[in-house]
Amino acid sequence: MNKDIATPVRTRAILEKYGFSFKKSLGQNFLIDTNILKKIVEFANITEDTGTIEIGPGIGALTEQLARSSNKVVAFEIDQRLLPILKDTLDPYSNVKVIHQDVLKADVKEVIKDEFQTIDDLMVVANLPYYVTTPIIMKILEEHLPIRGIVVMLQKEVADRISASPGTKDYGSLSIAVQYYTEAETVMIVPKTVFVPQPNVDSAVIRLTRRTTPAVTVKDEGFFFQVTRASFAQRRKTLLNNLTSQLPDGKQKKEQILEALGGCGVDPTRRGETLSLEEFGRLSDALYPYFK
């Protein structure tokens, strides 16, 4: 068995060997706790039949654990300076492929087609860079990739927002967008002390299990998300105020908005954070004829 990458001593040795310096702009924080990495792999229910997509492998600490458990790992790494390091640290694992690309610009569907031809069980597992957490998760969900789910480490406050329930301060358009496509649960809190360099905040591991069909059925998915974003534009404002100020020609269509709210039994003086996914579904369907 090869020595784990994710120990303080080995991580330091690798960084020194390559004279690697962390780039703040890329949100690089490397995990130095093997037990946490093993738990992440467990939360993802990885087996030897699983294909794994990783984003931001760093020096390969999580990649190594995934390679030991899964059939194949494809990792997207944006930082060119890490490529020779990964070639070195992941050399013992023949089932890993590193792609030097920004995942936000990558055609992930095409990569899946090329790299996982014989694999049906696919998971996205990553320790995500804080500054692009939300766009990465939303890209994966909106592109309807053929995956079972996503297990990622991210800032605790973002995890709180993703798994929040209606009526709580963390509940917002991000909660709705993610919960529309998946069942979301925070499975672990990770203290900032297990990273180098140490971030300013604690992290959390979140598990998103893809729903076979979205949580609510709506006439138009794009419009549904437009309505939810509009409803949270200014949290302290009522639904009516937000919708009239945020939807196209909303001020001119105030009467129609009131009619739609009444028609689906939603009080116009409520705030966005009090509505469930089902209520947002009904509301967007009631508004749709006036805005399509």
Q: 239-246 vs 254-263: helix axis angle to the nearest 10?
A: 140
Characterize the bridge pairing of strands 96-100 and 149-155: unpaired
Asked whether the CA dihedral 13, 18, 24, 29 is positive or negative, the reply is: negative
Characterize the bridge pairing of strands 50-55 and 121-127: parallel
Residue 114 has a CB neighbour count (10 Å cut-off) of 11
- Name the percent of the chain in helix, strand, coil, to the closest 5: 45, 20, 40
Per DSSP (E only), the strands in 94-252 are 96-100, 121-127, 149-155, 182-190, 195-196, 203-210
Answer for the pair 271, 280: CB distance below 8 angstroms, yes or no: no
Annotated binding-site ranges: 29, 31, 56, 77, 102, 127
Answer for the pair 218, 181: CB distance below 8 angstroms, yes or no: no
Q: Alpha-carbon distance 244 to 207, whole Å?
A: 35
How remote is the C-alpha of 273 from its chain's centroid? 21
Annotated binding-site ranges for S-adenosyl-L-methionine: 29, 31, 56, 77, 102, 127
Strand partners, 53: 74, 124
